[in-house]
Amino acid sequence: MSILWIGLSWILFMHVLCALLFRLDKRRAFFWIRIISIILLTQKIIDYGLSWIQSDFTKMPVEYSAITYILFSVTFLFNIKFLKTFVTFAAFLSGIGYLITFPFLGSIFIHGNGLLTTVLALINHSLLYIGSILVMRHHLFKTQSKKSILIMTVLVVAFSITMQFFINFENRYLFIYMLLDGRILYNIFHNIDINGFIYLPYNLLIVSIYLGVISIFYKINKKIYNVKQRSEFLLIEKGAIHHEHTV
């Protein structure tokens, strides 16, 4: 079976699983969110800890998703309210982004990072996606909270850029740096000369896409949450009708 069909089958499996988890009430849903948080945080503590003990600081959480693993976990384990909007959005973006690209780029991921690392990345991003969907199922984020997403995004990007001045990441394939400095354009358009005339509209395009994804996030959140509200209303209505028949 090719990577394409494996990836598409995995996406189907993830959405079947999400549909089943939709049946959980809020208490049980957040129980599983905490379980996901414990799994991700424990794995990352061990992973980074073993590397840092060996003085290998190139294994630093500078990627958007790597930072999200930690922030998402800490936020829901310790109920940090002001981070919930950003980490839910970041988990959704990281998760759905990896799930969508894996069927088409999975073989490249395996060639560059190895099979085990790629499989772990697929599982971890899937956990982020499931966690974000469960949160959105039971919590409606107001569009006014968009400001917190933008502020945290700037801080995450600033952290990643700052780490470049202290750690040499030249031997690592890090998507965030390829995205920020425009090197990703070389992979798409060969022999392109990146100058101000290209770099400025390129960055404006990245920002526009990111803002667009934020808007999509709020719309999906509203839709998922409203489905839950309608389901609860129908259950209450059925209960009332049943009560009338039994009186």
pLDDT tens digit string along 95-153? 999 999 999 888 878 887 789 989 999 999 999 999 999 999 999 999 999 999 999 99
Residue 81 has pLDDT above 80, yes or no: yes
What's the pLDDT score for residue 206? Answer: 93
Residue 1 has pLDDT above 90, yes or no: no
d(CA 105, CA 7): 10
Of the candidates 103, 48, 105, 102, the one whose C-alpha atom is nearest the C-alpha of residue 73 is 48
Q: Where are the domains positioned within the chain?
A: 3-246
Residue 199 belongs to what H/E stretch? Answer: helix 196-246
Burial 173-194 (b: 16+ CB within 10 A, else e): ebebbebbebeebeeeeeeeee
What's the pLDDT score for residue 153? Answer: 97
**DSSP tag of 61:** -
**DSSP tag of 183:** T
> What is the tens place of the pLDDT at every residue in 21-39?
988 999 999 999 999 999 9
CA dihedral 6, 174, 70, 119 (to 10 degrees): 20
> What is the tens place of the pLDDT at every residue in 144-178?
999 999 999 999 999 999 999 999 988 777 888 88
Residue 246 has pLDDT above 50, yes or no: no
Size of the chain, expressed as the number of residues it contains: 247
d(CA 227, CA 219): 12
What's the pLDDT score for residue 180? Answer: 86
Residue 245 has pLDDT above 60, yes or no: no
Distances (CA, A) of 211 to 100, 149, 205, 225: 19, 10, 10, 21
Of the candidates 58, 61, 64, the one whose C-alpha atom is nearest the C-alpha of residue 206 is 64
